[in-house]
């Protein structure tokens, strides 16, 4: 909280190393997008970024290529989201078991919450709320469409400002199943709230529950119909998946 105001700062760190290892440019873009998504899910607006870039031996051509691609991916995503990198550091010559480490850029994003009443938690808040999964039309694995990502973030930000959202949690490592489990955790001075889920018959259980697709957010709400209507207008999502928390 910023003393003397109703504002607050929100911060996050993200670094999906294995995704960067598969595709350094796209993985770095995904790291920035996920960090911005986390800021938005907390009720904030992304402002600026920092980084810690950890790589192997730059004298190895493949490592220098990884580094160059990751920097370009970060640059593209940070320019897109308006989050200039204000500082950071680079660590080279990192090895494990006699070989180069996975390329591991860690992205830090700081954001501003305009009013502390907008602070949004990731855990479910009230029994009986509906749980809604918002996602884009295309389910991308290993890459992110920045325009679609921004549409999802804009939807979540607007829903939080208009008090349509009780909780918000992005879907990342482990997919939807892990995100839902995390939403059920207890926190200090608050008991856990579970969720009763019915998986629609058209979904592929393993793919849809554990697939690590980009641009997905789990929301809890007291007005699922209105939230889904807005999602259809703004994001063109595949359909609102609703459950009972």
| CA contacts within 13 A on the Cβ side of 220 | 23
CB 155 within 8 A of CB 231: yes
Looking at the chain, the whole-number percentage of residues with pLDDT higher than 90 is 71
Round to whole Å and give the CA distance between 104 and 96: 13
Q: How many Å separate Cα 5 from the centre of its chain?
A: 27
User: Which residues have C-beta within 8 Å of that of residue 5, sequence separation ≥ 6?
Assistant: none
> Where on the phi/psi map is residue 146: left (φ > 0), alpha (ψ -120 to 50), or beta?
alpha
What does the mean pLDDT of the chain come to? 91
The pLDDT of residue 56 is above 60? yes
Contact assessment for residue 220 and residue 124, using Cβ atoms and an 8 Å cutoff:
yes
Average of pLDDT values for 60-64?
97
Residue 245's pLDDT band (boundaries 50, 70, 90)? low
Crossing angle (nearest 10°) for helices 61-81 and 146-161: 40
Closest CA to 108 of 88, 127, 92: 88
Q: Across residues 70-77, what is the average pLDDT?
A: 97
Question: Which alpha helices (H) appear in the chain, and where do they start and end?
Answer: 17-22, 24-41, 61-81, 146-161, 175-183, 205-210, 224-234
**pTM above 0.75?**
yes
Model pLDDT, residue 51: 96
> How distant is the alpha carbon of residue 224 from its chain centre?
21
Beta carbons of 53 and 180 less than 8 angstroms apart: no
Contact of 176 with 210, CB cutoff 8 Å:
yes
171, 213 Cβ separation under 8 angstroms: yes
Q: Give the integer Cα–Cα distance in Å for 134 and 145.
A: 15
Tens-place pLDDT, residues 83-116? 999 999 999 999 999 899 999 999 999 999 999 9
């Amino acid at each position: 909280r910023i003393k003397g105001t109703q504002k607050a700062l929100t911060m996050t760190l993200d670094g999906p190393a294995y995704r960067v290892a598969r595709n350094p440019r796209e993985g770095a873009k995904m790291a920035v997008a996920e960090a911005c998504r986390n800021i938005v899910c907390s009720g904030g607006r992304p402002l600026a970024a920092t980084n810690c870039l950890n790589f192997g031996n730059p004298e190895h051509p493949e490592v220098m290529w990884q580094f160059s691609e990751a920097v370009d991916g970060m640059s593209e995503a940070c320019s897109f989201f308006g989050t200039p990198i204000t500082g950071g550091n680079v660590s080279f010559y990192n090895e494990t078991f006699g070989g180069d480490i996975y390329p591991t850029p860690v992205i830090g994003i700081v954001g501003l919450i305009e009013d502390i009443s907008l602070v949004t938690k990731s855990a479910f808040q009230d029994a009986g709320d509906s749980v809604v999964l918002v996602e884009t039309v295309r389910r991308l694995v290993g890459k992110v469409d920045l325009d679609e990502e921004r549409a999802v973030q804009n939807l979540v930000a607007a829903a939080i400002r208009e008090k349509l959202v009780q909780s918000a949690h992005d879907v990342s490592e482990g997919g939807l199943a892990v995100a839902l489990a995390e939403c059920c955790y207890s926190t200090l001075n608050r008991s856990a709230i579970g969720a009763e889920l019915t998986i629609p018959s058209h979904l592929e259980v393993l793919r849809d529950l554990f697939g690590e697709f980009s641009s997905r957010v789990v929301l809890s709400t007291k007005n699922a119909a209105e939230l889904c209507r807005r999602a259809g207008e703004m994001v063109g999502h595949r359909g609102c998946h609703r459950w009972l928390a």
